[in-house]
Each structure stands twice: as structure tokens, then as C-alpha cells.
Amino acid sequence: MIIGIILGCFLVSTFLLVIAKRITALVHAFRMQSVFLFLYTLYMSIGQQSTELFAVCALVLALKVVIIPLVLMRITRRINTEEDLGLLINPQISLVVAAVLAYLSYLFTYNAMGLAHSSASIAFVASMAAASIGFFLMVSRMKALGQVVGLLVMENAIFLAASVITGGMPFFAEIALFFDVLVFVVIVEVFVYKVNRLFTHIDTSKMQSLKG
Amino acid sequence: MVFGLINVFIYAAVLAASVIFMLIFLAGGCAPVSMWGWIYIDSLSVFFLFTTAVVCFAASLYSVGYIRTEVEEAKMSGRKARGYFELFNLFCLTMLAIPFLNNLALVWIAIEMTTLVSAFLVGFHNVKESIEAAWKYIIICSVGITFALLGIIFFYYTSSNDAHVRSLEWANMLSASGMFDPKVVRIALIFILVGYGTKAGFAPMHNWLPDAHSQALSPVSGLLSGVLLKVSLYVILRFVMLANLSVGYAYSAKLFMFFGLMSLAVAGSFLLVQKDLKRLLAYSSVENMGLILMGLGLGPFGGIAAGLLQVFNHAVTKALMFFSAGNAVQAYRTNNMNMMQGIIRSMPFTGASMFLGLFALVGMPPFSIFISKLWILVSAFQGGYYGIAALMLILIALAFAGLVYHISRVVLGNPTSSMPRQKENLSAKLAFLFLGVFILGLGFIIPKGFLDLILSCQRLILGQ
Amino acid sequence: MINFFSKQLFLFDPLTIFFLSVIGLVSIPSAIFATGYLRGESALKKLTVSALFLCFVSSMCFVVTAGNLLSFLIFWELMSLTSYFLVVLDYKHEKSVRAGTIYLVMTHAGTACLMAALFILYKYAGSFDYLAVKEAAALMPVNVRNAVFLLSFVGFATKAGVVPFHIWLPYAHPQAPSYISSVMSGVMIKIAIYGMIRFYINLLAPAPAWWGAVILIFGIFSCLAGAIYALMARDLKKILAYSSVENIGIILLGIGAAVFFSGRGMGGLAALALCAGLYHLVNHALFKGLLFLCSGSVYRQTGGLRDMEKMGGLIRPMPVTALFFLIGAMGISALPPLNGFVSEWLTFQVFFSAFTQSGGAVKMFMVLSASVLALTGGLAAACFVRAFGMTFLAMPRSKHAQEAKEANLSMKAGMALLAVPVILFGAGAGLIAPVMYNISQSVLGGEKIAHTFYSVSVLPFTIMISLAALGAVVFILMKFVIKVKRTIYNTWDCGYYALDSRTEYTPTAFAKPFRIVFGFFLLPYRKSEKIRDSFYHVSAFKYETHTTLVFKKYFYEPIVSLIYAFACKMRKLQPGSIHLYILYIFITLVCLVWFVTVF
Amino acid sequence: MIMTCKVLLICLSAPLVSGMIRKMKNIVRMRKGPGILQPYCDLMKLFSKEEVVSKNVSWIFYASPAIVFSSGISALLLILIASPGYQDAGSFAFLIAAFFVLGLGRFFQALAGIDAGSSFGGMGSSREMFISSFAEPAAFISIFVLCVSGPGTPVFSFFLAAAALFMVILAETSRIPVDNRETHLELTMVHEAMLLEYSGPSLGLIELTGHIRQMIFFTMLSWYLFPVARAGSLGWILFGLRIMAIILAVALVEVSVAKMRLFRVVDFLSFAFFIALVASIAAGLGV
């Protein structure tokens, strides 16, 4: 019941990501998604009463809800370019595509993976949909940050998927992954600054000097 | 460049250690060694460790002179040079660590780390192209890696659900791999292949490769195509071994062949129309990955050993090529092959080694790649895959034509501008000679121990 | 698991020994010539040349003596590689680099086919040894044998420069230094013939007759095309290169007939044919080596002349070279009593006896081959009258030709070492033909029959004697009996002003009748332009005539441009857009998953 | 001994044959013309004259008359050796060899033509080699036919082969319609253009060889006509008759046909070649 609601909200926030037209909006949507991810893990940990899972969801809260969005916002503030995210595909069509991707991930879950119909598998569908949508963001958004966020969304989705179908990876692995995400974001920040300094924009669709 | 020299000594030590380790390992009859859960070493890891160590040493040796010239020509400040060596060490460290690791999550993180570290080395020059290349590299590879993570999760899922082994440690998973759910494993393997394959430069996920290779500093390009691709291949092989018992090797072989043929085809056509020397070499790496994959795909007919041999041969040969190309690029200040011609006159040693390296690369005797290439082809015929073998021969011929046409012009052509006779620094020459020893030596004879190692790897991969 | 280990590393049978001696016969004089040719070069160059030359020759020796497919292949490749290095030796010319690339790529394409054939053989034999292959070959399914034949034939033909795979030859031979081209054209392309003999007559025996027919047909085409192109060429070394194509054709007539008859179980006839083929092989090695050396000495002593339009009158400054060239030319245009005559004569005899001993269609085939051989002989004679006459006779057409000097001693020695055997192998046919015959019989195996070449033992020698005697008689008569009185005066110029070199008959003019008659194959075209200093007055008139290289224009260039266009299209797939690249990953993933789930 | 007699006889009678042909032609043309011994007189004259030699010739020029002559004689020898039993491979070998030997003479003739450096010489050699290279296949195949067919002496194939050989002979002995001995018009001459620089004894030698070559070809052709006993005095008489017949044919053709353009010659000779092929088919079938 509750879990259903949480997952629903998770998906909705993912769709919000799709229709976001400005970078700040995108970041906000991402934070929202992370929040629901946090809620989900919290629910799980309450259910299982395992300290490890509490630690994990604390990490989710700290990292994905607080730190990373802050970092992203800081980047947007630092590079004082226009806010526009630069959509290669407009929101309406993007939504359609997102729907299609969601359906695809449904097919994937039940035909390819052959999972049994259950709340867990529904959650898995949601996570796959989120992953593919994150992917779609990377493909269809011009600005570098769009791609970064897309990747982070995929990360979230995969985290969700892991905890859904396997009931959470080993604690140590989770920690390592979080650490990795953090490093990734930091390094990407550096590169975004470099790109902005050299190109005076962060529009990756204009970076096409290396061909063939 | 004191850092450089220190580096050389470090990596000489590493190489010596790896050789000694290999000898001990062989003396122990290739028995896998496992230490407190974190470290697991079998012949496969030893083989890749050795390969990595060799190329890293050569690269460190080459870097000394290369960086000195960079600094002298004021392309690089001394501080930046120090930064270079730090990053270089970090990069090599991560790659050297990977073969030891037992925990798949750690392996995954190490691979991601190699991307993040080498991204700096790719974008080292802070000019538009290099930063663009670095950005593409970092993003595309991270996407791939993320898929790989999904693959790992699927493996973990089936091992925890069907085999009730809630662990990401490779050894444990292998022991339980018999009970994996084939349906899931199939999917998972695809994710792994696509994910790590992006990093290993399989077509059609190879697109980052030519950009990164052409923009990186030449020693790093050598490392990238010499070792990095191979290391990710190593990880893929690990998962294939996990999948063996549930879906059988034939399934992975099919996937390998698919990617192999794709890579061969892409490289074959792109090699013909290149203008940039280092891009050319990058595509030839794609081609060689394709060959290696064909070898692995023909595994049941003795292709795996050939593929692994090819891994080593290509690593050393391509390192040589990238280093000599690096010298040329430094001297001519361009990557464009129409602008740099007559290298053999302006830099005889470099030119000669590049020319010989070319023929080593396209697989002419008496150089080492000839043997492995021939072996792969023979196993293709042995398996009765006549159509595929014919296709391979044609695509190889295409690549051959492209490489010979371009590089022979670069090496022998008339110097466009009145190019003065350049001085070639000693460390580069030493690096060439060091690599040349392997290229020629393995062309003439494959040492028994090395062959045993490779064959035990083959047995391992086939799960015998 | 692949079994790379071979019990049979080397193989020495009469065939290999024959080829070894051919290699020695040509490469030693070339080496001697080279020492003179390279006089005044830098020590480094001398060193590299001699090292490469050594590698080249020894790799050929190893190919011939190889006892298993693997070492055959390895040394075959080595041979190609070293010869490539020797072709691009003077890389200062853009041309030689290009020629080298063409050569190497063509060879590699050929070798790819060869590889396929050898590996198929391996698959069935389970080992690379010739013995194992020979055993397995008998049991192989027919279509596989045919596949092996076709693939390997393409491979060998490419190396041997058989039409239409000859495309590399007229580029590589002229560009290489002459002492190299003499070995390449004299020996290397024969190594491919060795391969054919070894595989089709020895290893894959019994070969079906149609293999022989295929070889014969390719031989016929090479004869004609080679002769015609040779007549058209202006570059002296190009003429020689094309005439190599022609002579390879003649050799293939012999070899093909041998395969053909052994396929039809006529052992004796096959032996005769093979004998004729081998004889012409060694002959061609001799006189083509000689001719290339002579052209080399012309090239060096005139300061880099290769275009015959600029030569002429060289017999006066360099009489010795001229003499040797004349001997070579007489040999190659099959004039008695030199060696070319003997082998072509034997080939004719083979066709004759084939005609008498077989029936129906085969008769016609033989007559056709014989007539093609005759036509080729005529064309070759015309070609070499042109080559010698325009190069050495009449008046010099350029300053270089006037200032030419005679070759130095070791160059002369090199040429002499090839010129003498040209005569010996002609007049001494009576001693040599039986040896060849024994070799060919040992290759074919089967029962020993005495050869039925008519009067080979005596005739060439007799001709030599009678010619010499009559010549002497005439000379004496002229000199002492009739006591000819000679007045030296201008050439008859129809009473106009004195003739000079510009009014001479040029090589192009000499070839014109042939160019017109073979127009259907050569597709000649002319470019003419008026150079006018005003609208009314034409100050000069430029006129060029060219012939079209049919195979290049209508076979190779389309293929190459097709591949290139495809590659350019492929290039569009990588426009540098990161979004697209990420999409590729996703598409691959989806496709694979879909494929795996559905199938 | 007999052989030398034969050789001498044929050599001596060779100019006579040319003279007879010329006479025959003149008779047909209703002219008086020179006597049949005229060729001997010409040779005498030439041998008694002194030579004028171009100043830019090499030893090739001086040597070639001797070589031409000796090649002609050797060819004659080969023919005569072959003649006794021509229906086997042995005599085929000899006849082919004879062709090769004649080729030697032609080779040097052509070189000598180029040697003087006049444009006529070059033209002549070029055309000579051109014609001969197309004449050879036809000649070879007709010889082929002559030698393959057994003692049965198939008439049909012989006839065809004889026709082919006849055409070849017209070309080889440089007669109308291929060439014209009697003119020195620049555009038309082929054989004469080569000899333009020669004079005196050398020219005489070459002329003589020309007669002998003609004799050789006639002898070959004669074997096709009623190939019966060729031994003893009767044989000689028959031989004479045959030669007479051939002379007649040649003369008739020469007076009744116009000279062809150079490039028509190829068609002419390829026609001969075709006939020879047909002849060989017929011989294969044994008719």
C-alpha cells in the first residue's frame, strides 16, 4: 500500500524530470526523486529492522537528497549561462517516449527476465522505467548537466532495482557505490567548469569537432 | 625529470615482481590463490597482470623523454608535469589492482576509477578538442559502466535467489554458478558485455575510443589501447566464466562473435578514410579487439588461447606504434597525416620502428601478431565457420590496405616542409627496443611457460 | 586445439633442388651486378640492401624447401615483405612508395586466398605436414578439393602476375632497383609456379582435368595480354615487366597441359608438358634476369633513363651492355640457337603429340593453344626488335643518351654470368632436356618412360654449328674473295636536309600498327592541344596518344572506388555527437535483449 | 653428299624461280619484260658493286646480311631433312625449327632496318614484324595439319591447309596483295623499306636469301600437292612440276589482285589462320 504510493511518486518525479525545461527544474526533480528513493529505503529498513539498511538510507538522504543537488545547483550558479536545458525533443513527445520506455521496461521485466507478478516486480518495472528514462534524458538533452543528471537518475534507478529484487546489495558494496557516485559528481563538476571555460557554454550538442 | 626516473624504477620493480610472481605461479602448477576473501588470483589474472606490467613499464620509460620534451617546448609547466606523473601512477595502480580483486563490486569501482583518472590524462592539454574528447570519454564510459552495474545486480539477484549465495565475491559465485537461472544469466551477460564492452571498445560502442586515443598524451594513448581495453576484457571474461555452467560457453561465444564481426567491419571501413595518425591507430585497436573477440568466439576450437596471445601481442605492438606516433606528433606538431611525412628521414629510429611496427601490427611474419592472427584464422576454419572466416579475411585485408597505405606514406613520403633532422631522446629508443624484444621474440618462439599460462587460462575460461 | 607441431620441417626432392638452382642461377649474378650498381652509394644503404637481399633470397629458398604448409606460408609472407622493402628502397620517389603499396596489398589479397586454401587443407589433414596433406587430399570431398584449387590458384596467380591479377607487376618491377627486379621477375614469380606444381601435381594429385584446362586458359590470356601490353609500353623496364606476364603465360601453358594430361591419365604426355614448362621457366629466369640487369646498367649509366623515347644509339657508348641485351632479346624472342627457342619448340611438340594422341575437343584446344603460342612468339619478337632497336640503335634521342658510359666491371660480370647460360641452355639442350624430363617424371611419379621429344638432343646444337659455319663462310667470302669496298656516307634522306634524331622512327610509331589492330583491347585515345600565341597563329601543336589499361580501369578501379564510397558513408555514422553515441549503446542493448528473448 | 647437292641445286635454282614468276607475270600482262635469267644478272651486278653505308650504323648492320643468309640456308637444310617422311612428329619438329630459324634472319633484318636511323627503315621493320607476327600462327597450323595426318593423306584438309599456307607465302615472300617488291613508293613498301640502306654485295646476299626463302616456302607448299613418291629422278621431275604449278598460281594472283592496305593484311592473314583451323579440324576428323 504505502510502498505502492512511494513507487508511484517515484515514477511521477521521474516524469517530472522528463518535462523539466530548465536546469534548476531538472535538479529539483532529481532531488524529489531521490527523496522518494530515500523514503523507500527507509520503509524497507523499518520493515527489516537492519542497522545496515538504516545506514544506507541515511547515506541516501545525505548524498542524493542533500549533497549532489547542492553541488549541481552550485555548478549552475557558477557557470552563469542561461538556464535553458536545451531540449532536442520537446516535452510532449518526450513524455510519449517515456511512456513507451516504461512499457518496454514492463516487457523486459516479465518477458526477458521472466519475473513473477508481485509488488517487488512492479517496483522493478518502475526502476527499469526510471533507468531508461534517465538514459533518454542523456540522449535528448543538450546541456552537459542534463547528461549528468540523467546518469544520476540511472544510478538511482539501479539502486532501487538492486534493493527491490535482491533486497539490497551487500552493505560494503553499497558504501562503495555511494563513494563512487560522489567521486563521479565531483570530477564531472571539474570537467563542466573546464568545458564552460573553454567553450563558454556547456552545450554538448555543439561539441562535434572530433568526427569519423 | 626526477619523477620520471623514479617512475621508471618503480615500474621496473613492478614488472620484475610480476615476472617473479608468474614464475612462482607456474611452478605451483597454476593453482588459484585466494587471500582473505578480497584477493583471488588464477592464471587469467596473472596473465593480465603481466601484460599490464609490461606496458606500464614501457609507458613509464617512454614518458620520461616525452614529458621532458613537452616541458622543454613549454607545452607543459613543471607543476603540470608532476601532476601528470601522479595521475599516471594512479591510473596504472588501478589497472594493476584489477586482476587481483575478488569482489565484483570493487572491480566495478576500479574500472570506473580508471575512467575518471584517465579522463584527466585525456583532457590534459586543456584545449577544446582534448576536453571534448575527455567529456565524451567520461560520459559514454560511465553510461556503459552503469549498464555493467545492472548486469552485476542481475548476477547477484540470480545467485541470491536461485543459488542462495548472498555474496559478490567471484570465487563464491563461481562455486554456486551451477544453480543460476539461465534466463536471467543470458540477460545479465548481455548487460555485462555491452557495459564493459563500451570500455573495451567493442563496436558499435567504440565511439569514445578514437577521440580519447587521439587526444590523450601519447604514453597514455599507449596505455589506453594497450592495457585499459584489455583489462575490461578481463572483467568480461570473469563474468563469462560465471555464466559458463548455466548457459554454456556457446552462448557467450555467439555474443563475442557478434561484437567481433561488428568491430572488424567498423574498423575495416574507418581505417581506409582516416586523416589523423592516432585515430588510425585507435581504429586499428578496434580491429584488433575484433580479432581477439573472434578468437574468444571460436573458443571451443582452441581460439581462446589465440585470442589471449593476441591480447598480449597487440598490447605491446600498439604501445610501440602509439609511442612512435607520439614522437612524430611532437616533432611535426600535428596529427594530420598529410602534414607529417618522411618520418624515416627526419627521425630515422622512430621512423624505422614505426615502419616495422606497422608490419608487426598488420600481422606479417616474423612478428608476433602473425602467429596469433594465423592461429585465430586456423581455429575459424577448424570450427568449419567458412563464411565467417572468409568475412574475417576480407575485413582484415581491408584494414591491412588502410594501414599500409596511410602509414607507409607517413613514414616514407617526402617531408612536406623542409623538416630538419630531429633528435630522438634516449628513453623513447629504449622503450622501442624493450617492446621490440617482445614483438620479435614472440614472433619466433613462444616460451613454454607463457604458453602453459595461456593454455591454463583457456581451460579456465572454458570451465574445464 | 590446433596442432602446430610438424614432423616434416624440410623437403628435398628433385623439384625443390631444381628451384633452388634456379634461384642460385639468377640471384648470384644479380648480387654481383648490385656490387657494381651500388658503387658510390652510402655504406648504410649498401648494408641495408645486402641484408634485405639476403633475407629475400633465403626466404625464397625456404619457401621452396618447406616441408609443411605452415612454414610454406610463413616464408611466403616473408618473401613478400622483404621484396616489398626492396621495392620501396628508393623511397624518395613518390612512385615507388605507391607501387610498393599496390604490390603489398595485391599480394596480401592473394595470400588471404592462399591462407584459406591451406587452412581448409589443414582442417582435413589435421596436420600441416605435406605427407599428411597428401594422404588426406585423396579422401577429401570433391567440391572441397575444387574450392582449395580455386582459392590457391587465385593466390598463386596473384603472385605470378597472371592476367587479370597482374596489376601490381608493371608498377613494382620498374620501381625496384634493377638487380632486385631481375630477382623478382626472374625468380620470385616462379615461386608461385612452384606452388602450383607442388600443390596441383604433387600434393592434390590426382587433379581433375578441368583444373588443367583452367590453368591453360589463364595461361593463354596472360600470353596475349602480356605480349600486347609489352608492345605498347614506352618504359624499358615496363616492357620487361609485361613480357614477364607473357612468359608466365607460356610457362602456364606447359604446367596447365601437365595437370590436364595427368588428370586424363596420360602420364607420358604430362611429363613432356611439365618438362617443357620447367624448361621455359628456367629459361625465362635467365634471360629476364639478364634483360633487367642490362636495363639497369642503361638506367644507371645514362643517369636515369627509362623512357625509350629518349634513348637510342646506346650501342656505341655501351657496346658490351648492348651485346648482352641483344643475347637476352634473342633468347626471349625464341631465336635459335638460344634457350628461348628450345623451350617454345618443346612446347609446340607437346601440343603436337597431344593433338595426335587425344581426340575431339581436346584436339581443338591443343591447336588453339599452339596457335596462341605462335602469335605470342611473333609479338614477342616484334616487341624486342622494338626494345633493342629503339634503345641501342640509330641516333641518340637525348643528351643523356649521348653522354652514356659503359657499365663498370662487376656489372658486366653480372650480366655475363647470365648471358652465358642463355646460350648454353640453348645449344646444350641435348644435355639439359633429359634432366628436366627426369625431374618432371619424379614430380609426377608413375612409370618411367623415355621422353619422346624429337631430335632435341642434336638439333639445336646442329643449328648453332651450321649458323656459325655459314656465317663464317659468308664473312670470309665477303672479306677476302669479293673484297667489298665500303664508302661511309649519310643515311639516305630523299635529298632533303640532313636527317637528325627527331626524324627517326620512334617506339610509339613502331608500335602503331599493333596499337591499331589490337584497338579493341587497348582502347587507344589521343589528346591533342593547339598552343597558339595569338588567335590566328598556332605556335605549337601538342599531341599525345595513350592506351587504356582495361583491367585497371574496368575491374580494379570500380572495386576500389566502391569500397571507398562505402567507407565514406560509414564515416557519416560517427558525426561526433555524443547523444548519438549514447543512443547506439542503448540500441545495441535493446536489440540484443530482444533477440535473446525472442529467439 | 646428296644433301649438299640438293642444297646447292635449290640455291642455284632459286633465282630462276623468281625470274620465271616475273616472266610469267609479264606474259600475262602481255609485256616483253626481262628474261628469266635476269635475277642472276642482278645478283652478279650487286656482287660486283661497292657499298655505300650510312655513317651512323653499328656492327648489327654489317653482320645481318651474313646472319640472314646463313639462317636461310640452315632453314633450307632443316626442310630438306624433314622432307623424307613428313607425316610424323619428328618432321614437325624440324619444320617448326625451320620457321624459328627464318625468324632469326627476320629479327636481324628488322634491326638492321632500324640501325641506319632513317624513318623508312624503322617503318619497314615495324611493318615486317607486324605482318610476320600474324603470318606465323597460320603457317604453324598448316604445318601442323601437314604433319598430323597419317599416310591416308586426307585431301580435304590438305587442300585447306595448302590454301592457308599459300596466303602465308604471299605475305612472307612480300608479294602482292600484301607487299610489292617492284615499287619503292614510300607508303606501300614494307620489305624493301628495310633494305633501303643496303647496297652492293650485302644487298645481293639479302636478295639471294630472299629467293631461297621463297624456294623454301614453295617446297613446303609442294608437299601438299599430290603427296606421292618423292624419291629418285621421278621425284625430282614431280617436284619441278609442282614448283611450276605454284609459280603459275603466284603469278596469276599477283597480276589479278590489287595490293591491300596494311591493316587489311591482318584480315587477310587471320582469314588464312581461320582456314588453317578448319583444316586442322578436318585433319582431326581424318578427312
Q: Is the pLDDT of residue C46 over 90?
A: yes
Closest by Cβ to A208, choosing from C575, C586, C597: C575
Q: Which residues of B touch C562 (CB under 8 A)?
A: none
**Residue B177 per-residue DSSP state:** G
Q: Which residues of A touch C575 (CB under 8 A)?
A: 208, 211-212
What is the total count of domains within chain B?
Answer: 1
Looking at residue D230, its pLDDT comes to 54
The b-or-e profile of B301-330 (16+ CB within 10 A means b, else e) is bbbbbbbbbbbbbbbbbbbbbbbbbbbbbb
- Listed as ranges, residues in chain B with pLDDT below 50 are none
Task: Test C466 with D110 for CB contact under 8 angstroms.
Answer: no
Looking at residue B124, its pLDDT comes to 92
Q: Which residues of A touch C582 (CB under 8 A)?
A: 135, 138-139
Closest chain B C-alpha to C73 CA, distance in angstroms: 10
Count of CA atoms in the C-beta half-sphere (13 A) of C275 = 29
Task: Test B168 with A162 for CB contact under 8 angstroms.
Answer: no
Looking at residue C584, its pLDDT comes to 96
Q: Which residues of C touch B380 (CB under 8 A)?
A: 119
What's the rounded mean pLDDT across residues D99-110? Answer: 95
Closest chain A C-alpha to C574 CA, distance in angstroms: 5
Q: What is the pLDDT of residues D124-175, one digit of tens each?
A: 999 999 999 999 999 999 888 888 775 556 778 888 899 999 999 999 998 8
Closest CA to C579 of A73, B28, B230, A208: A208
Whether residue B185 contacts residue B246, with contact meaning beta carbons closer than 8 Å, is answered with yes
Q: What is the ipTM of this complex?
A: 0.92
Give the C-alpha separation, C36 to C519, whole Å. Answer: 42
Report the chain C residue with the minimal C-alpha distance to residue A151.
C582
Task: Test B190 with C592 for CB contact under 8 angstroms.
Answer: yes
What's the rounded mean pLDDT across residues C9-28? Answer: 94
Looking at residue D189, its pLDDT comes to 81
Which chains pack against D, by 3+ Cβ pairs within 8 A?
A: C
| 3-class SS letters over C91-115 | CCCHHHHHHHHHHHHHHHHHHHHHH
Q: Which residues of A touch B138 (CB under 8 A)?
A: 187-188, 191
- Listed as ranges, residues in chain A with pLDDT below 50 are none
The rounded percent of chain D whose pLDDT value lies above 90 is 51
The H-or-E segment that residue A7 falls in is: helix A2-19
Closest chain A C-alpha to B380 CA, distance in angstroms: 31
Task: Test A210 with B127 for CB contact under 8 angstroms.
Answer: no
Q: Is the pLDDT of residue C2 over 80?
A: no
Looking at residue D227, its pLDDT comes to 60
Give the C-alpha separation, C104 to C107, whole Å. Answer: 5
Task: Test C585 with B382 for CB contact under 8 angstroms.
Answer: no
Query: Which residues lie across from B223 on neighbouring strands?
Result: none
Interhelix angle C267-301/C319-332, nearest 10 degrees: 160
Q: What is the pLDDT of residues C555-599, one digit of tens each?
A: 999 999 999 999 999 999 999 899 999 999 999 999 999 999 888
Report the chain C residue with the minimal C-alpha distance to residue D200.
C484
What's the rounded mean pLDDT across residues D181-204? Answer: 85
Retrieve residue C471's grid coordinates.
Answer: 656465317
Q: Which residues of B touch C2 (CB under 8 A)?
A: 301-302, 306, 375, 378-379, 382
Please report, for chain C, the start and end positions of each structural domain, with discontinuous segments joined by +. Answer: 14-448, 523-599
Whether residue D150 contacts residue D87, with contact meaning beta carbons closer than 8 Å, is answered with yes
Q: Do chains A and D touch (3 or more CB pairs under 8 A)?
A: no
Which residues 1-60 of D are in CB contact (within 8 Å) with C? 47, 50-56, 58-60
Report the chain A residue with the minimal C-alpha distance to residue B105.
A173
Task: Test B142 with A151 for CB contact under 8 angstroms.
Answer: yes
Looking at residue D226, its pLDDT comes to 63
Give residues with Cβ within 8 angstroms of C419, minimum separation 6.
C290, C323, C324, C327, C328
Retrieve residue D181's grid coordinates.
Answer: 617488291
Residue A212 forms part of a structural domain: no
Query: Which residues lie across from C543 on neighbouring strands?
Result: C528
What's the rounded mean pLDDT across residues C15-31? Answer: 96
Residue A166 forms part of a structural domain: yes
Interface test with C, best of A133, A137, A204, A211 (most C CBs within 10 A): A211
Closest chain C C-alpha to D25 CA, distance in angstroms: 30
Looking at residue A82, its pLDDT comes to 66
Q: Which residues of A touch B134 (CB under 8 A)?
A: 191
Looking at residue D87, its pLDDT comes to 59
Task: Test C375 with D197 for CB contact under 8 angstroms.
Answer: no
Q: What is the pLDDT of residues C508-551, one digit of tens each?
A: 999 999 999 999 999 999 888 888 888 888 888 888 888 999 99
How does the average pLDDT of chain C come out, rounded?
A: 92
Report the chain B residue with the minimal C-alpha distance to residue C107.
B397
Task: Test C454 with D65 for CB contact under 8 angstroms.
Answer: no
User: At CB < 8 Å, which residues of chain A contact B?
Assistant: 112-114, 131, 135, 138, 144, 147, 151, 154-155, 158, 161-162, 165-167, 169-170, 172-173, 176-177, 179-180, 183-184, 187-188, 191, 194-195, 198-199, 204, 207, 209-210, 212
Looking at residue D153, its pLDDT comes to 62
Closest chain C C-alpha to B229 CA, distance in angstroms: 17
What is the total count of domains within chain D?
Answer: 1
Which residues 540-569 of C are in CB contact (within 8 Å) with D? none
**Is the Cβ of D197 closer than 8 Å to some Cβ of chain C?**
yes
Task: Test D148 with C355 for CB contact under 8 angstroms.
Answer: yes
Task: Test B382 with C592 for CB contact under 8 angstroms.
Answer: no
Retrieve residue B211's grid coordinates.
Answer: 577521440
Looking at residue B193, its pLDDT comes to 96
User: Predicted confidence band at D231 (pLDDT cuts at 50, 70, 90)?
Assistant: low
User: Predicted confidence band at C195 (pLDDT cuts at 50, 70, 90)?
Assistant: very high
Closest by Cβ to B211, choosing from A184, A195, A210: A210
**Residue C308 per-residue DSSP state:** G
Size of interface A-C (CB pairs under 8 A): 38
Instruction: Give residue A179's domain range.
Output: 2-206
What is the total count of domains within chain A?
Answer: 1
Q: Which residues of A touch B127 (CB under 8 A)?
A: 198
Give the C-alpha separation, B359 to B356, whole Å. Answer: 5
What's the rounded mean pLDDT across residues D49-67? Answer: 92
Task: Give the global pTM.
Answer: 0.94
Which residues 339-368 of C are in CB contact (within 8 Å) with D? 341, 344-345, 348-349, 352-353, 355-356, 359-360, 363-364, 367-368
Interface test with B, best of A191, A204, A205 (most B CBs within 10 A): A191
Give the C-alpha separation, C408 to A15, whole Å. Answer: 89
Report the chain A residue with the minimal C-alpha distance to residue B211.
A210
Looking at residue C89, its pLDDT comes to 86
Give the C-alpha separation, C469 to D232, whole Å. Answer: 30
Instruction: Give residue D181's domain range.
Output: 2-285
Looking at residue D115, its pLDDT comes to 92
Strand C486-489 relative to strand D51-54, pairing: parallel
What's the rounded mean pLDDT across residues C68-90? Answer: 94
Q: Which residues of B touch C576 (CB under 8 A)?
A: 211
